[in-house]
Amino acid sequence: MPELPEVEVVRRGLDVWVSGRTIESAEVLHTRAVRRHEGVLSDQLKGRRVESADRRGKYLWLPLDDGAALMAHLGMSGQVLMVPKGTPDEKHLRVRVTFADDGPEMRFVDQRTFGHLMITQLTAAWGRTVPLPIAHIAPDPLEDAFDEDVFTAALKKRKTGIKRALLDQSLISGVGNIYADEALWRAKLHWARATETLTKPKISELLAAARAVMTEALGQGGTSFDSLYVNVNGESGYFDRSLNVYGRRDEPCPRCGTPIRRDAFMNRSSYSCPTCQPRPRNGRW
DNA sequence: CATCGACCCTGCGGGC
DNA sequence: TGCCCGCAGGGTCGAT
């Protein structure tokens, strides 16, 4: 489950459902689901108490009472579900974490196995305490540690297209393919616009658009085209109804009526309005 | 160093 | 009905 709003929906669920509980066991059903790991996951988690649920960008983690943390990245299709004990296993169940009480167990379900769990130490980075492996990830635009001037300076050094930059988690985290397209549409910027040609006010406008669209999506429980993207209780959000361009090829632009175009981009897609977001003369892919 | 394409997987829908 | 292709909210890695 992908971008910032969807991951935040999961974090909020975990904060409610696992904070303060003590882990009883962890069962790994697929080797790819746990990365960079030495030893038995269950041995390291048994008896640990979960303090809370934190997030930066698309990464979330559960700080533990021994100072380490259980980190998760959902990849393209990962889900974290809270289900009553005894519930039949999901087809793509990868890791099961049980607790020393009668409450629900936590399950990591992931069809495509691009996501993973990891036990990691915490460290200070960009004004926060975060897992060591993601110390290089920039703050996301919804956290206090995000510094617009720092982002703007870093962006101007880049020689690439604006969408590539938005998707680079070391510049700004949490933005993925959907919200990049939606933010660019709101700011009337083409995805291939060269970063070095952007003015400070335009960058500010783009950031405001990114914040707005992700905040609105969060208010609707995130974006779900199908049952792959759900909260810890398996429920879908409904922000997909509010998308202006993403996935709307040939549909009229909500602003000017021009049919939305779809371009191939990094083995994926970019959606934009040909009128509101004209292709730049010296764009960068 | 910075940038970019290939690759990692499973499943689904569309065209033939 | 199949089969094949393209496509899907992700990051990592090696080649340049």
Ordered DSSP codes for A134-180: GTTSPPPTTSTT--HHHHHHHHHH--SBHHHHHH-TTTS-S--HHHH
- A161 bridge partner residues: A194
- Judge contact between A62 and A68, C-beta under 8 A: no
Token readout for A222 is 């995130």
Token readout for A93 is 């169940």
Residue A36: per-residue pLDDT: 73
Residue A207: per-residue pLDDT: 98
Residue A18, C-beta contacts closer than 8 angstroms, at least 6 positions apart: A50, A53, A62, A82, A99, A106
**Among A240, A229, A247, residue whose Cα is nearest residue A58:** A229
| Phi, psi dihedral angles at A73 (to 5 degrees) | -125, 130
Token readout for A79 is 């889900």
Q: Which protein residue lies nearest to nucleotide B9, measured between its Cα and the C1' atom?
A: A112
Angstrom distance (rounded) from CA A92 to CA A90: 5
Which residues of A line the annotated binding site for DNA? Answer: 92, 112, 158
Domains of chain A: 4-134 (3.20.190.10), 148-272 (1.10.8.50)
- Judge contact between A257 and A39, C-beta under 8 A: no
Residue A181: per-residue pLDDT: 97
Residue A1: per-residue pLDDT: 60
Token readout for A212 is 């707005």
Angstrom distance (rounded) from CA A20 to CA A101: 11
Catalytic residue status for A254: no
**Strand C nucleotides below 7 A of a protein CB?**
7-12
Distance, angstroms, CA A263 to C1' B15?
20
Report the nucleotide nearest the CA of residue A240, measured to C1'. C9
Angstrom distance (rounded) from CA A58 to CA A173: 7
Residue A2: per-residue pLDDT: 86
**Among A74, A60, A63, A70, residue whose Cα is nearest residue A109:** A74
DSSP H or E stretch at residue A40: none
- Choosing from A2, A63, A104, A141, which is the catalytic residue? A2
Residue A284: per-residue pLDDT: 83
Residue A215 beta carbon within 7 A of nucleic strand B:
no
Distance, angstroms, CA A254 to C1' B1?
42
pLDDT in tens, chain A (285 residues): 689 999 999 999 999 999 999 999 999 999 999 987 777 899 999 999 999 999 999 999 999 999 999 999 999 999 999 999 999 999 999 999 999 999 999 999 999 999 999 999 999 999 899 999 999 999 999 999 999 999 999 999 999 999 999 999 999 999 999 999 999 999 999 999 999 999 999 999 999 999 999 999 999 999 998 888 899 999 999 999 999 999 999 999 999 999 999 999 998 999 999 999 999 988 887
Catalytic residue status for A8: no
Residue A152 beta carbon within 7 A of nucleic strand B:
no
| Phi, psi dihedral angles at A97 (to 5 degrees) | -115, 125
Distance, angstroms, CA A92 to C1' C7?
21
- Choosing from A21, A55, A58, A107, which is the catalytic residue? A58
Residue A260: per-residue pLDDT: 96
- Choosing from A32, A85, A268, A279, which is the catalytic residue? A268
E-only strand ranges, chain A: 23-28, 54-56, 59-63, 68-73, 78-83, 93-99, 105-110, 116-125, 128-131, 261-265, 268-272
**Strand B nucleotides below 7 A of a protein CB?**
2-11
Distance, angstroms, CA A105 to C1' B7?
34
Distance, angstroms, CA A257 to C1' C10?
32
Residue A282: per-residue pLDDT: 84
Catalytic residue status for A90: no
The full length of chain A comes to 285
Angstrom distance (rounded) from CA A272 to CA A40: 47
Residue showing tokens 């049980």: A98
Catalytic residue status for A3: yes
